[in-house]
Structure 1
Amino acid sequence: MLILSRHKGQKINIGDNISITVIDVVGDQVRIGIEAPPDISIYREEIYLAIQDQNKSAVNLDEDVANILSRIISSKKD
């Protein structure tokens, strides 16, 4: 992990097309602005983890539905 110190108004560049700006610092809270191309998704960690959980749940649901349909098709063949 790269650790940097920045002051209000200073930027960090990631590659050629992502820029992070320190907007404000109040106590232990830092506000940042992120500029990135529209094809780059940017999420707070808790939102990203929730999306990952939902995706895993959807995959499990798809497997359950596939198993149920398979049983229905098998029972109709018999």
Structure 2
Amino acid sequence: MLVLTRKLNEAIQIGDEIEVKVLAIDGEQIKLGISAPKNVEIHRQEIYQAIQAENNEAADISTNLLELIKKSDKKY
């Protein structure tokens, strides 16, 4: 993990297209501004993890449904 120190209004650059800038500091909270292309998804970590869990659950349901369909087709 790369650890950087930034002050208010300073930024870091990730590749050619992503910039993360410190917009405000208020006690223990820091507001970050992120500039990135529209095709780059940006989520808070807890939201990203929830999306991944839902996607995994949906994939499992799809797999189970396919297995049920295969079994029911064999009966006919």
TM bin (shorter chain): over 0.9
* Structure 1, gaps ≥5 residues long: none
1:8 corresponds to which residue? 8
1:73 corresponds to which residue? 73
* 1:60 is the counterpart of 2:60: yes
Cα displacement (A) at 1:41: 0.7
* 1:18 is the counterpart of 2:24: no
1:34 partner letter = I
2:31 corresponds to which residue? 31
Cα displacement (A) at 1:71: 1.1
Q: TM-score, normalised by structure 1?
A: 0.94
Please identify runs of 4+ aligned residues in structure 1 that moved more than 3 A.
none
Q: TM-score, normalised by structure 2?
A: 0.96
* Structure 2, gaps ≥5 residues long: none
1:43 corresponds to which residue? 43
Select the structure of larger CA radius of gyration.
1
Separation (CA, whole Å) in 2 of partners of 1:59 and 1:11: 38
Instruction: Give aligned-pair identity as a percent.
Output: 34
| Residues paired across the two proteins, number | 76
3-state SS of 2:23 partner:
strand
